[in-house]
Copies of this chain bind each other. A is one copy, B any other.
Amino acid sequence: MPEIPTFTDKRISQTQRALTNALISLTLEKGYDALTVRDISERANIGYATFFRHFSDKDALLEDVLEKTLSDFLGLIQPVINDPERTVTLVFEHVKQNSDPVRVLLRTRNVSPLLPRIFAFSSQAMLETLIPNPQSLIPPEIAAHHMIVSILELIEWWLEHDMPYPPERMGKIVNALIMQPARKLAFLEK
């Protein structure tokens, strides 16, 4: 039977923290695909073989980073349905305070299956809350997908342009440009 450690060894958490930071900074510098495990372990000041004692490969380390980033994210996006403007503002504030990992998340879409899962999950949550208008030209799945994906696209734009507007303004913009039109066109007023 494997022992479950009560406390994590300082060396282990230090190593993993260093690898995580190395992955984030290197990905932003030269792109995830261009990285080698050697790049990462050197940046982290960690022996090459030690990398594999913690992660089976480069992708596993990425998954680890993204998982943490995403679980924070999801808690925020969830209630976006009730008060869109306020929630979107909160999302942009959160992004601002975690811009590096979020940049990594958005830049590695193809690599990780996590982001698509978020889309599906969030769309589902929306469809369960809002009431589709059967008369509408626009299928509810399309409206829900559009809302989720467009917000993420605007976050990406905002980050790549060094956050030129404050989160409150972005909340208003997203609400007017994306949320309100989609709700009016595809769902019934409650």
**What residue in chain B is nearest A110 (Cβ atoms)?**
B110
Q: Is B138 touching A173 in the complex (CB atoms < 8 A)? A: yes
**A154 and B142 form a contact (CB under 8 A):** yes
Verify if A76 is at the interface (C-beta below 8 Å from B): no
Cross-chain contact A149 with B153 (CB below 8 angstroms): yes
Select from chain B the residue with minimum beta-carbon distance to A156: B149
Taken together as a complex, chains A and B put the C-alpha atoms of A73 and B154 apart, in Å, by 23
Partner of A111, one of B110, B138, B172, B182: B110
Are A146 and B138 interface neighbours, CB within 8 A?
Answer: no
Cβ-closest chain B residue relative to A119? B157
A150 at interface (Cβ–Cβ under 8 A)? yes
Question: A188: CB under 8 A from chain B?
Answer: no
The answer to whether B143 touches A177 (Cβ under 8 A) is yes
Q: Are A142 and B185 in contact (CB under 8 A)?
A: no
Q: Closest B-chain residue to A182, C-beta based?
A: B177
Q: How far is the CB of A26 from chain B (nearest CB, A)?
A: 16
Looking at the complex, which one of B110, B137, B145 makes contact with A33 (CB distance below 8 Å)? B110
Cβ–Cβ < 8 Å partners of A142 in chain B: 154, 157, 173, 177
Cα-based distance from A26 to B89 in the complex (angstroms): 42
B108, B138, B153: the one within 8 Å of A153 (CB): B153
Contacts of A131 in B (CB 8 A): none
Q: Find residues 124-175 in chain A having any chain B CB closer than 8 Å to their own CB.
A: 137-139, 142-143, 145-146, 149-150, 153-154, 157, 165, 169, 172-173
